[in-house]
Amino acid sequence: MSSSEVRYERCGSAAVLTIERPDRRNAIDAATARALRSGLERFEADDEARVLVLTGSGEAFCAGADLKALDLDVDDPGGPLGFSRRTPAKPAIAAIDGWCLAGGLELALWCDLRIATPRSIFGCFERRWGVPLVDGGTQRLPPVVGMGRALEMILTGRPVEAEEAERIGLVNQVAPPGEHLDRALELAERIASFPQETMLSDRRAALEGAGLSLAEGLELERRVGREVLVVAARGAARFAGGEGRGGQGV
């Protein structure tokens, strides 16, 4: 799939979704939001695509909503930016280079993991224009960086550089300049190499358990873990047969 706004391509076990509006710093209008949603749906329907990598072209990951277009639907069930109110069925990685602002930051937070280059800048820049966070930022940022830091970013709209973003946990890894996509694809292949049923089960327990009491979370973990015990038994048999000794394969 390719449109004038978004490019979809398969790279090994990953599907790469690239926002292609470099003249607008990859700001998202209604057409781009629809293309992003279509890309997610194509990824989720492809059993061979195990990880989604979301990235942007040019000097930005994404600068958020296109405030010149003002044609996004805030009441869209999927989210104004296309899929921000949905949880992807499989892991997603944001490969970030340059500006990652406002709704762009919310899209990065939508992903499970984030890899950035040293020049990347993060921030709730919509604060200065009186635009609210409506693509999940108020809900996804606090669990990632803690409520204190999240409120500082939300209330002040200040820029956060890549080094600080990594230090506070907003970014999982800072890659050398130009290597963010390669690092994301390497990480995608690593994730894709594991038994998928149990990996997805553990991911589900972690995501759905957020906000539950400990007792409720443990029950969720037990229930979803029980569903993949057959896979666990196969893995245990491989280990007993000699695989993985000395940390091999990890």
Name the catalytic one among 20, 44, 126, 163. 126
Give the closest residue to 207 by CA, choosing from 88, 127, 96: 88
Which two three-digit tokens encode residue 76? 């869209």
Q: Quick check: is 106 catalytic?
A: yes
User: Tokens 């090994």 identify what position?
Assistant: 12
Number of H helices, E strands in the chain: 9, 10
User: Tokens 């296109």 identify what position?
Assistant: 66
Strands 6-11 and 14-19: antiparallel
Q: Quick check: is 126 catalytic?
A: yes
How far, CA to CA in Å, does 15 sit from each of 43, 94, 99, 128, 175? 6, 12, 22, 35, 20
Name the catalytic one among 5, 44, 106, 197. 106
Strands 14-19 and 51-56: parallel
Cα separation, 211 vs 185, in Å, equals: 31
Which two three-digit tokens encode residue 80? 């104004």
- Point out the residues that are catalytic: 106, 126
